[in-house]
């Protein structure tokens, strides 16, 4: 089946019929009612990036309870937002949402722009999210293309060109299929079909409204699609972290620079992150204060999207009660950690774990 052979009316009608009966009930959906607000679509779509629906649901509900409108969100403090975001990871999303909300309030009088072209100029809103907001909230004639949609369309049209080079064709097919009515529902139906029926493994073709038209199913190659280039092996990066305690029991924390991973987040001092492990003597030259080091060292591992991260954690007590602290640093009592917006990696570093071992004492810098 080619673009010219598509009977998109039949495909659309059967998919929407299926969606009316089988589409998912989600807190940000309003099936059978007027469109959801763009604020709800935006919040859910950003939260759902790299995060599952099950994880997102309680966060979405909590955010709406705390900040029912975009004005409330823009008027909150960034620390409160980052705190509420804890556990969702990829904190750049939350920081960009904050900037985006402030821009919408300042430049658009608190109203989301109604087109994907304008939406995609806002912080943190890429082409997919812009299309999702524009079609679900405002009925723009555009279908957002995410992993679910790529999979469904690759199979429907038996596209065997490996990704990412096949993307242009998939995007074009998605727009050709977009109907002239119920466009927001069509986009959500396509997402639901990919999430619940046309799943990566064991697609439930016998339940699928598109089975009769599906080339991948008819050729018996559905599950092998979409074709992907083999993934490169994830590299490992390394750092040493310093958990430095004051005589009163508080721990030295600081705010990381805005740019880069965990940008703007609260963290213990670390060496620069790099592609080879550190000899301890070298690592300790990055420690911002003179310390007496303890015997124990903890190993922490963490997985980021593009690399695995291995951190060795050194524990020390600051040697002199110097009033000087590194920029953007402060002492925090451990009982106050839960009030801080600590990323998961820092929780792994700061909270006790079984992974702590006695080790030879590092040299003082």
Residues making contact with ligand SF4 (CB under 6 A): 152, 155-156, 197-198, 203, 205, 208, 210-211, 214, 216-217, 222
- Is the bond leading into 228 cis (omega within 30 degrees of zero)? no
Q: What are phi and psi of 79, to 5 degrees?
A: -65, -40
To the nearest whole angstrom, how small is the minimum distance from the Cβ of residue 282 to ligand SF4? 53
Tokens 């599950």 identify what position? 223
CB 51 within 8 A of CB 88: yes
To the nearest whole angstrom, how small is the minimum distance from the Cβ of residue 185 to ligand SF4? 18
- Is the bond leading into 226 cis (omega within 30 degrees of zero)? yes
Which candidate in 45, 139, 161, 335 is catalytic? Answer: 45
CB 298 within 8 A of CB 355: yes
Query: 3-state DSSP: the chain helix, strand, coil percent, rounded to 5?
Result: 45, 15, 45
To the nearest whole angstrom, how small is the minimum distance from the Cβ of residue 145 to ligand SF4? 15
Asked about 45 being catalytic, the answer comes back as yes
What does the alpha-carbon distance between residue 91 and residue 263 come to, in Å, rounded to a whole number?
8
> Of how many residues is the chain composed?
365
CB 303 within 8 A of CB 309: yes
Per the structure block, which two tokens stand in for 291?
Answer: 């310390």
What does the alpha-carbon distance between residue 205 and residue 211 come to, in Å, rounded to a whole number?
6
To the nearest whole angstrom, how small is the minimum distance from the Cβ of residue 188 to ligand SF4? 16
To the nearest whole angstrom, how small is the minimum distance from the Cβ of residue 209 to ligand SF4? 8
330, β-bridge pairs: 253
Mention every residue, 6+ apart, whose C-beta is less than 8 A from residue 42: 97, 100, 112, 125, 129, 133
Sequence-ordered alpha helix ranges (H) in 219-325:
280-284
To the nearest whole angstrom, how small is the minimum distance from the Cβ of residue 15 to ligand SF4? 10
What does the alpha-carbon distance between residue 226 and residue 166 come to, in Å, rounded to a whole number?
9
> Which active-site residues does the annotation give?
45
């Amino acid at each position: 089946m080619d673009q010219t052979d598509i009977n998109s009316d039949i495909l659309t009608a059967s998919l929407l019929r299926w969606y009316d009966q089988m589409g998912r009930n989600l807190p940000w959906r309003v099936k059978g009612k007027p469109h959801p607000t763009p604020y709800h679509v935006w919040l859910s779509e950003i939260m759902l990036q790299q995060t599952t629906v099950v994880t997102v649901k309680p966060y979405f509900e909590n955010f709406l309870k705390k900040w029912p409108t975009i004005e409330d969100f823009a008027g909150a403090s960034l620390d409160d937002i980052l705190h509420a975001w804890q556990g969702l990871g990829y904190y750049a999303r939350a920081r960009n949402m904050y900037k985006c909300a402030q821009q919408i309030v300042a430049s658009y009088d608190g109203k989301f722009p109604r087109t994907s072209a304008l939406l995609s100029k806002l912080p943190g809103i890429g082409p997919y999210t812009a299309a999702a907001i524009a079609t679900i909230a405002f009925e723009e004639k555009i279908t957002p293309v995410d992993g679910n949609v790529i999979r469904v369309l690759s199979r429907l049209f038996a596209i065997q060109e490996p990704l990412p080079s096949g993307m242009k064709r998939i995007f074009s097919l998605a727009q050709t299929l977009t109907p002239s009515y119920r466009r927001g529902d069509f986009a959500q139906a396509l997402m639901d079909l990919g999430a619940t029926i046309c799943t990566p493994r064991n697609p439930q073709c016998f339940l699928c409204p598109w089975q009769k038209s599906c080339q991948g199913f008819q050729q018996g190659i559905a599950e092998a699609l979409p074709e992907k280039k083999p993934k490169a092996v994830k590299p490992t990066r390394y750092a040493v972290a310093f958990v430095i305690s004051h005589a009163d029991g508080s721990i030295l924390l600081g705010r990381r620079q805005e740019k880069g991973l965990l940008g703007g987040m609260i963290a213990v001092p670390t060496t620069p992150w790099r592609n080879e492990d550190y000899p301890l003597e070298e690592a300790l030259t990055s420690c911002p204060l003179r310390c007496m080091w303890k015997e124990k060292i903890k190993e922490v591992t963490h997985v980021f999207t593009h690399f695995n991260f291995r951190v060795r954690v050194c524990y020390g007590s600051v040697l002199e009660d110097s009033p000087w602290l590194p920029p953007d640093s402060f002492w925090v009592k451990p009982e106050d950690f839960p009030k801080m917006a600590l990323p998961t990696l820092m929780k792994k570093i700061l909270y006790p774990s079984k992974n702590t071992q006695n080790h030879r004492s590092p040299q003082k810098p």
